[in-house]
Amino acid sequence: MTHLIERIRRRHLVAFAIGIILVSLTTGTAAHAYWTAQARGTGAVTTTSVAITQTDFPALTTTYVNTLTRLQSTGSFVITNTGQTAGTVTASIAGAGSLGPLLPVRIWPVANAAACTASSTPPSSATTGTWASVTVTGGTPLAAGASQRFCVRTVVADASTLAATTGARDVTATLTASLGGTGWANASTTAATTHRSVAIYPASAVPASTSDAHWYTMRPAGASNLCADVMYNGTGAGSYVISYSCFDNSSTRPNSNRAWQFVPLDASKQVVALRPAHSGEMRLSTDTTGGAILAASNTTDAKQAWIVQARGSGQYQLVSKATGQCLVFPTSNNGRLTLADCDQAKTGITLPATLPTVTASSASAFTVDVGWYLAGGYSQQVEMLSGGSWVSCRTSGTASVSGSTVECQRPTTGAGTLRLVSGDQVMYQFTINRTASGSTVTTTITGVTAP
């Protein structure tokens, strides 16, 4: 009986509840409007835009060469919050190419473009990295409609770090800028820029490695008949260095004012001074206009120091340690050599060697060809080491070189040491070896060394 009463009571309660719900759905319009309004409110929040744009990043494209003033770059790019809510800005740069890891970069926020120039000093808080990988994050959230400019600085301390056997490297760097905030999905944008290095080749000791006393003619690649020439055989400081025909009067030897010695200035032999054969106390230098001249030897003068870079296929380029520019031949004969930015098409030179030779002229004499033809009005002396002293190569007469050869009248066999002297400057010394077989005497050079 009790269970029956309980079931009847539950049925009445369920019916009552259903009645209440039906009444609410048919007569409770105010409750339905409130719920609908809430639905609209939620939809408005989720559609608030999160958007970002960048400008100026592609304009950061830079080409680097040996020239000291072209081993750095400064520029800026802008990130703008074009959405409707504030967010934190993150800018990431990722580069593809062999140049990227070699290019250092510093990035920091600035107020405007005027605050980002070549003379601007990066703060200690600047983000550091390379053009291969770097990420910078803005400080305070960027308000809707606001922009943030970032300054970008690259400084290459030494061009040799960018060297390549082809002379060229590059990197294509992609900027990914994103805007994020609590509860919002990130919005991002991308842009790309390209950096290149051109005509930067590995330093080489090739012209000075076999012997410090080797002499060379310097000729523009593709014009083997032209040589670097000291104008009018000038021997004093300020004499112009020009492009001129390598040989005069059908000679097979260049004049001495067209022969140059590569004198190493450091242990690597990759930095050299260039000494003209006809004036041993002078060195190749440049004046204030960048024109090539002779100057009195000074090992501390950067204008007299030249970095030898190997371009391959027997070509080199000479890079001024003072400016990073290359020695360039003019396009015509008699034109002056000058400095200009290194260029893969214009600054290649070849260096045919000009070496001494010795031949036996008789059992009691031998002939020394000093390697060049001495210009009229100048003399050079061939001497032999005898008993610890340097004496004339001849037993009588003079041993001055008036052309390109001198006969030494020394009948002894075995090893001997000779040197060529110009004024009070030793141009080079070398060892000869004379061997006799019956009446035949053979004379050979066994070494050419620096004095």
* Prediction pTM value: 0.79
CA distance 422 to 257: 13
The pairing of strands 389-392 and 400-401 is unpaired
pLDDT given for residue 206 in this prediction: 67
Helix (H) or strand (E) holding 171: strand 169-181
Beta-strand relationship, 147-155 and 380-386 = unpaired
Map out the domains of the chain with their CATH numbers: 52-197 (2.60.40.10), 206-353 (2.80.10.50), 355-449 (2.60.40)
Two structure tokens written together for 173? 């760097």
> CA 447, 449, 450: angle at the middle one, nearest 5?
170
pLDDT of residue 182: 62
- What is residue 387's predicted lDDT score, i.e. its pLDDT? 85
Place of tokens 């943030």: 148
Tell me which residues of the chain have a pLDDT lower than 70: 1-49, 182-186, 206, 208-213, 248-252, 363, 374-379, 395-402, 410-412, 439, 446-451
